[in-house]
Amino acid sequence: MRDRSHLVLGLGVAAFALLLLTLWIPLDAETGLIERVRRRVSIGDALAPSIAGGFLLLGGLLLALAERPGRGTPRLTGALLGHIAISLAIIALATLIMRYAGPLSVALANPGGAEPLEYRLLRDTPPWKHIGFLLGGVVLIAGLIWQVERHLTLRMLLLALLATLAMIALYDLPFDDLLLPPNGDV
């Protein structure tokens, strides 16, 4: 069977670019490609993403129509796609845990409590500010190790924990005004 991976990938990218150009940018950008403000023409919000979308479309079409797999090019197999899907699922799960573990912990620790307490107000207070980053970080690192090794030992989990703690030590401890994810956005 002829390898159609270039065609599939190229058409996929082109479809995404079309979606970007026809739906996402018009819905999300406030001004057009160029903006006329007070006798002056300036660059609008939509110009840079539209150019990027144009290049994506061109690249996708080139890949789909002009590119042919050479000798030794890996085929796009179900196993490879599965690998990408599992990686993305691990990253998505870790991101969700990172974002919501802290708020959930506050809600559980203070069920219908006397004082209305929000995670937002504790986002710079230990240990609350570390819960999401720590759990999400451990799940991300341990998950990716598991994906590669196909098994998980206590040693690997400890390694994930140590790596996450090292990142906290590196970014959180020395900088007073720096917030670990997700605390800048809550």
Partner 1 sequence: MKRILRAGLAALAMAATATASLADWNPPGPIKMLIGFRAGGGADTQARLIAEALEDRLGWKIIPEQVTGKGGLNLAAALRDAPSDGTVIGLAVTETLGYNMAAANTDMTPSDFTGIATTAGFQMGIVALSTKGWTDFNDVIAAAKAGEQIRFGAMSPKLADLAYLLGKANGVAFNIVVVRGGKAVMDGVTAGDLDLGFMAGIQNKGVIAGDLVNLASALSVPLALSPDAPTLSDLGVPFNADGYFVFIAPAGLPEEARAALSAAIADVVTDESTKAHAFISRAFGAPTVISGGDLSQMLARDYDGATELLDASAE
- Which residues bind to partner 1, rule: CB under 8 A? 30-31, 37-40, 105-106, 108-110, 115, 117-118, 120-125, 127-128, 177, 179, 184
Which tokens hold the place of 156? 């690997």
52/16 Cα distance (integer angstroms): 12
**Residue tagged 């082109």 (tokens):** 14
Describe the crossing of helices 154-171 and 128-149 by its angle, rounded to 10 degrees: 140
- Bridge partners (DSSP) of residue 37 are 40
Burial of 4 (0-12, 13-18, 19+ CB in 10 A): middle
Minimum CB–partner distance for residue 109 and partner 1 (Å) = 4
Minimum CB–partner distance for residue 115 and partner 1 (Å) = 7
Which H helix or E strand runs over 88? helix 78-109
Q: For residue 64, count other CB atoms closer than 10 A to its CB.
A: 18
Nearest CB to partner 1, comparing residues 26 and 82: 26
**Residue 17: C-alpha distances to residues 20, 49, 55, 131 (Å):** 5, 10, 8, 38
Nearest CB to partner 1, comparing residues 6 and 129: 129
Nearest CB to partner 1, comparing residues 11 and 179: 179
Minimum CB–partner distance for residue 111 and partner 1 (Å) = 10
Q: Is there a contact between 168 and 180 (Cβ–Cβ < 8 Å)? A: yes
Minimum CB–partner distance for residue 19 and partner 1 (Å) = 25
Nearest CB to partner 1, comparing residues 44 and 69: 44
Nearest CB to partner 1, comparing residues 1 and 37: 37
Minimum CB–partner distance for residue 176 and partner 1 (Å) = 9
